[in-house]
Amino acid sequence: MRALGIVVLLCFSAVLLPSQVRNSGSGNVSRVPSPSSGDLTFQQSILISGKVVLPDGSEVGEPVAIQTICRGRKRTETYSDSRGRFSFTFGVRDSTAYVDFADADTMGGQAPRTGENRSLQECDLQAVLPGFFSELVHLGLRARESSNSDIGQVVIRPLAPVEGHTISATSLMAPEPARKALEKGKKQAEKEQWDDARKSLEKAVQIYPRYAAAWFELGRVQLQKNDFASAQKSFEQSVAADAKYVNPYLGLMNCALQAQNWPGVVDSTNKLLALDPVSHLEAWYYNGAGQYQAHNFDAAEKSLREGLKLDGEHHIAKLDYVLGLVLMQKRNFPGAAEHMRAFLKLTSDPNEIAEAQKRLQEIDQFSAHLPPPAGNPQPK
pLDDT in tens, 334-374: 999 999 999 999 999 999 999 999 999 999 888 877 655 55
User: What mean pLDDT is predicted for residues 9-23?
Assistant: 41
Residue type for position 232: Q
Please say which residue of 109, 136, 158 terminates a domain.
Answer: 158
| Angstrom distance (rounded) from CA 118 to CA 90 | 8
Q: CATH number of the domain at 140, please.
A: 2.60.40.1120
Which domain covers residue 131, as residue numbers?
A: 46-158
Is the same domain home to 212 and 264?
Answer: yes
| Helix axis angle, 318-329 to 350-369, nearest 10° | 20
Is the same domain home to 144 and 181?
Answer: no
Residue 16: per-residue pLDDT:
42
Is the same domain home to 193 and 118?
Answer: no
Residue 327: per-residue pLDDT:
96
| Angstrom distance (rounded) from CA 332 to CA 328 | 6
Please say which residue of 132, 158, 184 terminates a domain.
Answer: 158
What is the number of domains present in the chain?
2
Compute φ and ψ for 64, nearest 5 degrees.
Answer: -130, 140
Residue 71: per-residue pLDDT:
81
Alpha helices in the chain (DSSP H): 139-142, 176-190, 194-207, 212-224, 228-241, 247-258, 262-275, 281-293, 297-310, 318-329, 333-346, 350-369
For the chain, the first-to-last Cα distance in angstroms comes to: 20
Cβ pair 300, 332 in contact under 8 A: no
| Angstrom distance (rounded) from CA 357 to CA 338 | 12
24 occurs within a structural domain:
no
**H or E element, residue 130:** none
Please say which residue of 158, 176, 200 terminates a domain.
Answer: 158
Q: Is the dihedral of CA 201, 95, 61, 271 positive or negative?
A: negative
* pLDDT bucket at 377, cuts 50 / 70 / 90: low
